Structure 1
Amino acid sequence: MAPTRLEEEKAEVVHADTLKTPDSDSTNNAEQGFQDEHAQSAAEKKLVRKISYTFLPLVTWIVMVQFADKSSLAISAVLGIYQDTGITGSQFSWLGSLFFLGYLIMQIPNQVLIQKFSIRRYLGVCIVVFGAVMLFTALAQTFAQLAALRFLLGFFEATCLPCLYIIVPHLYRREEQTFYFGIVTMCQGVGSVLGNLVAVGISQMGGERLGLEMWRWNHIIFGAITVLLGILCFFFLLDNPRSWMLRLTEEERHIVDKRTEDNAVIRSRKINYKHFLEALKEPRLYCIGLAAICINMQNGGLLVFSAQLIRTLGDFTPTESILLKIPGGVASTIFILGAAIVARRIRQIAYTGMVMCVISLSGVVVLAAVPHGSVKLLGYYLSWAMGGAGALYAAMVGTNVSGYSKKIFYNSVLVICSTLGSFIGPLVMLDHEAPRYTTGMVVYCVGNTVAFFCFLAARILMARENKRRIANPPEKKLDVTEGWTDQEDRSFIYKL
């Protein structure tokens, strides 16, 4: 049913209210009130539940298993890969980095392919392929074979998070997205726990089974699970709020139209290169990219060396080293989910991210300063607060960038820079500095500090633009179906 003139006037008054105060809590509250006006209806709450029940279970498993695949090398370090293949410590570091090199190279074609193909089918095929790579890794005998397979694993896994990062803003309202970006990122921590629990079971096999070493069974198990998930993704991943899987009623279709208008995400198969140029001119893009490098140097280094690092803290068996990794995954999950909930409650993405950087920095300082003992293990767990900061950078992009090509470009830059950081991270963990890895710890301390100030700078830039838009509101709100960017649509207010 078309809105009446009175309803249109009310909407205009409410919209004007959202633009009346400079960067302040009242601005955030007014904006939130406008966007939540329809979200308070029982029908929309039911729709959001339907979307979440359809989307989240499969996505949870995809992210969990994808992360377990990626971190399989760290577990293999204490399950016999050194002895079985004859690789050295420096070669192991290169295996950690080559994954991220493949991840990095794929981002350029991935940016085009995401826009050209159905996301669920494209992602489903890629998941099947990197599941097959995991299975073939179980057959590797030399460093060269492992290096090639790690590169291919990173190349095809590189499609996963960018696809999910573009789906979330398509399904959820802007004020909902911080929480759901947190859920997606949190699943990586849960994946760490899952991978370690499976590895504990494998470590109890006692040597080899059917002529295969323990580390090979780890790849076989997760490779088979990954292929199955790829097939399910191809047919059943929810990638569109109007999907047949939701069985929308007429009322729900109308609600979806309203939510799409709020999200400012209109899918287009045509690549708009002007969006790329606009993004490249924005200083916040470089803040987000630099922060992503800094965050993921630490995440990449500590992920690859986690089992070895823990083993040096005491006289632990391989099984005990794996078990002690589990609280790290739990800590990452708690920090990510906590950051998402707090940021949504107080409506402050950047400030919450800055707190996560401080907590992570304190953990790395402990790792650098304390030579050994349980306090050092506490520092290791605290360092995973950086996962919460990473989730909020993804949310910052999801909620504050509009225009489909521009959003894909921002997500690609975020993933490229994250991958570059993850590539560098293991390389600064110098073998001759074990077990303290002084150079790595110093680099990670600097990274936490830089990420802190990048949050602050991005917030200041967006707050200043909000003030300009509030002071000079547009006479007419642009039609979101035209695919305007956040720069072109002057009624677009950034979430800080």
Structure 2
Amino acid sequence: MTSPEEHQATESSTGSLDAKVALGKTPSSLSQPQYVTLEKYTDAHAADHALDHDVAAIAHELQAEALQPTPTELRSVLRKIDLLMMPMMCCVYTLTFLDKTTTNYAHLLGFQNDLQFSGADYSWLGSIFYFGYLFATPVHGILFQKLPLGRYLAACIILWGTVLALHAAAFNYAGLVVCRLFLGIFEAAVTPGFIMITGRFYRRNEQVSRTAIWFSCNGWAQILGGLVAYGVLMQPSGSLPVWREMFIILGGVTILLGIVVLAFFPSSPETFKLLSHREKLIAVERIRENQTGLHNKKFKWYQLREAFLDPRLYLLFFCILTLDVANGGTSNFGSAIISSLGYNKKITALLGMATGLSEVVAVIIMVLIARWTKTRSIPGIACLLVAILGASMMVGLPASQANAKVAGYAMVMFFAMPTLLLYATLSSSVGGETKKVTFNAVFSLGYAAGNIIGPQTYRASEAPNYPSAKAAMLACLCVGGVFYVALFIYHSIENKRRDRLYPIESAKEQNATQELSDLTDWERKSFRYPL
């Protein structure tokens, strides 16, 4: 099995596609997978391939200086990027998961009784968040390309923190619905934004581990949420219901974090304030080998068309949709699932932490398998099999075996690992800014759709055991696994086709201009997909 890192050599200096692009010309036709038809390119596409002014200046400077950073300089730049980016991304992602699942903890704290709404209404609270997510995703995708990504993310964080705090002011079900809708709108920017940021700052072989670091905060958020719920339950009742206090506190913390992100979070390597000029050049030099470009603000219709002609777009969409049916249910009904096994509220809060710990352990296991096998497919499949086994335990074991069913529920959390690996794959397997934005948007639509469907499988008439919901979870995990395997089979077939048509010796990349150009993965003969 050939890794992408082994195919970093690219096109030759005469007649290569990238060389023509660098000269402001366009090829008469584009080599595509033999099973996909795409119309021939015309001279009108010359402007489409032009670099943004700032990116072109960086590419010119890299060539003029013939930059050859030492291993020590490369490690120093990576360390500075990690020290700033990873803590902030982890904090944001922790609050992203914690804030959108606050209704799970508020349910445990009695807000359903206080606001007097039904079990069916509670299911819709879980779904309405993702309707907001669904509607906002295309808008975020367009604005990601047009605006500075770091500042845009910061604005969304501040706005969602404000909306979260306003949950405390909801005195009826309608007010709560409005708050959940807008929370979904603003939170929808975070995950696709982080996928793009990871691709802009990290090499291919670094992206799985860095994505794993910030994605693991889903697990830490569940642990933190369980501690918060348990701590609140231990406190004597005051004049303000404890669930309202929780919303105010978490909303305030989110707003403060958004201000920090606004002040320090960079949009791309060349805007990283804590790096010197040479270090910024080195940061860009590091990611040239990704062959996915740097960034480009011009929306390109041919890349949009190419994205919708790419079969991987549909494999990714249906894979994330089916996997996140499970996520939509467990995120909103986790406490209900555990309490239905006979545990009181305090024990339920503590056992809810076990699912978070399971996810953290799953991340560690996944990263170890990925490093050992040097693949993304094998660790994802292994973790998905664990999740399917856990769901089978939830469905098949009798109610008398409560501890075993809780263990099965914790094992279900392994389903998040294929999702994590799909995030890393998105950041490293799609070239061209508009094509990347399109893939991110469609992927997020699938994520939202799955999370809308998930809570609806929990019928109030089947409470508290929800047998149909558990069966639906098991079925969706199995179907999602089929799409996951199909994606990487497609990658393998396409890599072999490219190896046959474009041997390594005929694929020498020219310079920084070509490597940072806004070309898609279909346009780069040297591009190889992660396996």
Q: Would you call these one fold, judging by a TM-score over 0.5?
A: yes
Which runs of structure 2 are paired with 1:256-267 in the superposition (5 Å)? Answer: 256-263=283-290, 264-267=292-295
Are the aligned partners of 2:9 and 2:509 in contact in 1 as well (CA < 8 Å)?
no
Match for residue 6 of structure 2? 30
Q: In terms of mean alpha carbon deviation, does 111-120 or 191-200 score higher?
A: 191-200
Measure the CA separation in 2 of the matches of 1:460 and 1:244: 38
Is 2:314 aligned against 1:338?
no
Q: Is the 8 A contact 1:265 1:483 kept in 2?
A: yes
Shift of 1:371: 3.0
Contact 1:171-1:240 at 8 Å conserved across structures: yes
Deviations 1:170-189 (A, max 9, x none): 00001111111111211121
Return the letter of the residue paired with 1:489: R
**Shift in alpha-carbon separation, 1:414–1:344, aligned structure 2, 3 A:** farther
Residues 143 and 357 (structure 1), Cα distance of their counterparts in 2 relative to 1, 3 Å cut: same
TM-score with structure 2 length normalisation? Answer: 0.84
Q: Residue deviations 1:151-204, cap 9 Å, x none?
A: 111111111111111100100001111111111211121112122212221112
Task: Give the 3 Å change call, closer, same or farther, for CA 438–282 of structure 1 in structure 2.
Answer: same
Aligned residue for 1:118? 148
Distance 1:339 1:455 in 2: 15
> What residue in structure 1 maps to residue 446 of structure 2?
417
Counterparts of 2:369 and 2:527, CA distance in 1: 23
Q: Give the share of equivalent positions with the same residue, in percent.
A: 28
In structure 2, C-alpha distance between the alignment counterparts of 1:32 and 1:79, rounded to whole Å: 54
Query: Contact conserved, 2:323 with 2:477, CA < 8 A, in 1?
Result: yes
The change in CA–CA distance for 1:29 and 1:117 in structure 2 (over 3 A counts) is closer
Return the alpha-carbon distance in structure 2 between the equivalents of residues 28 and 163 of structure 1: 24
Whether the 8 Å CA contact 1:100–1:422 is kept in 2: the answer is yes
Output the CA distance in 1 between the equivalents of 2:277 and 2:170. Answer: 52
Give the Å deviation of 1:86: 0.5
1:362 counterpart residue number: 389
Q: CA deviation at 1:120?
A: 1.6
How many angstroms apart in 1 are the aligned matches of 2:450 and 2:84? 33
Shift of 1:273: 2.1
Give the aligned residue type for 2:530: K
- Asked if 1 retains the 8 angstrom alpha-carbon contact of 2:266 and 2:272, the reply is no
Which one of 328, 351, 355 corresponds to residue 378 of structure 2?
351
| CA distance, structure 1, for counterparts of residue 266 and residue 486 of structure 2 | 35
Match of 1:95 among 120, 125, 128: 125
1:75 has 2:105 as partner: yes
Could you tell me the TM-score, scaled by structure 1's length?
Answer: 0.90
SS of residue paired to 1:246: coil
**What is aligned with 1:438?**
467
Task: Tell me, yes or no, if the aligned pair for 1:162 and 1:411 is still in contact at 8 Å.
Answer: yes
Counterpart secondary structure, 1:212: coil
Aligned twin of 1:406: 435
Deviations 1:212-255 (A, max 9, x none): 111111101100001101111111113322234332352x3443
Give, in whole Å, the separation in 1 of the partners of 2:230 and 2:267. Answer: 35
CA contact (8 A) 1:28 1:347 kept: no
Contact 2:335 2:349 in 1 (8 A): yes
1:303 to 325, 331, 353: 331
Give the partner amino acid of 1:179: S
1:493 aligns with 2:528: yes
2:214 partner SS: helix
Aligned partners of 1:480, 1:147: CA distance in 2, in Å? 47
What residue in structure 1 maps to residue 297 of structure 2? Answer: 269
Matched residue of 1:242: which SS?
Answer: helix
Checking the alignment, whether the CA contact within 8 Å between 1:168 and 1:177 is kept in structure 2 is yes
Aligned residues: 465
- Show the counterpart of 1:319: 346
* 2: CA distance, partners of 1:169 / 1:345: 22
Determine if the alignment matches structure 1 residue 453 to structure 2 residue 485: no
Give the distance between the partners of 1:202 and 1:291, measured in 2 at CA.
38
**Structure 2 counterpart of 1:231, which letter?**
I
Counting only pairs closer than 5 Å after superposition, residues 288-299 of structure 1 correspond to structure 2 as 288-299=316-327
CA shift in 2, pair 1:347/1:39, >3 Å: farther
Aligned to 1:229: 257
2:193 aligned with 1:163: yes
What's the CA shift string for 1:399-444, capped at 9, x where partnerless?
2111111112111111110111011001001122223312111211
Deviation at 1:475, TM superposition (A): 4.9
How far has the Cα of 1:480 moved from its partner? 2.0
SS class of match (1:234): helix
2:398 is the alignment partner of 1:388:
no
Contact 1:394–1:414, Cα closer than 8 Å, also in 2? no
Structure 2 residue 210 is the aligned partner of structure 1 residue 180: yes
Counterpart code for 2:418: A
**Equivalence for 1:8:** none
| Contact 2:294-2:516 at 8 Å conserved across structures | yes
1:464 to 470, 493, 496: 493
- Give the aligned residue type for 2:244: R
C-alpha contact (below 8 Å) 2:195/2:426 kept by paired residues = no
Q: 1:176 to 1:100 in 2, by over 3 A?
A: same
Q: Deviations over 1:462-488 (max 9, x none)?
A: 111111111122555361222111110
Letter of the aligned partner of 2:73 in structure 1? Answer: A
Match of 1:484 in 2: 519
Q: State which of 188, 203, 228 in structure 2 corresponds to 1:198.
A: 228
AA at the equivalent of 1:182 = A
Q: 1:112 to 1:376 in 2, by over 3 A?
A: same
Where structure 2 has 5 or more consecutive residues not aligned to the other structure, the ranges are: 11-67
| Aligned-CA RMSD value | 1.9
Amino acid at match of 2:527: F
Kindly indicate whether structure 1 or structure 2 has the higher relative contact order, using CA contacts under 8 Å at least 6 residues apart.
2
- Given that 1:169 and 1:265 are in contact with CA atoms closer than 8 Å, whether structure 2 keeps it comes out as no
Residue 93 of structure 2 is matched in structure 1 by 63
Counterpart of 1:132, as a letter, is T
Measure how far apart 1:344 and its partner are. Answer: 3.6
CA 1:424/1:137 → structure 2, altered by over 3 Å: closer, same or farther? same
- After superposition, the C-alpha distances for 1:288-342 in whole angstroms (9 at most, x for unaligned) are 11010111110110110001111111231x2221111001011112213432342
1:366 to 1:32, Cα distance in 2 relative to 1, 3 A: farther
Query: 1:9 — aligned with what?
Result: none
CA displacement at 1:32 relative to structure 2: 8.3
Letter in 1 for 2:95: V
User: Which amino acid in the other structure matches residue 230 of structure 1?
Assistant: G
* 1:6 matched residue in structure 2: none
Write the distance in 2 (CA, Å) between the matches of 1:138 and 1:82. 13
Report the more deviating stretch, 429-438 or 135-144: 429-438
Q: Which amino acid aligns with 1:343?
A: A
Measured after TM superposition, the shift of residue 29 of structure 1 is 7.0
Paired position in structure 2 for 1:255: 282
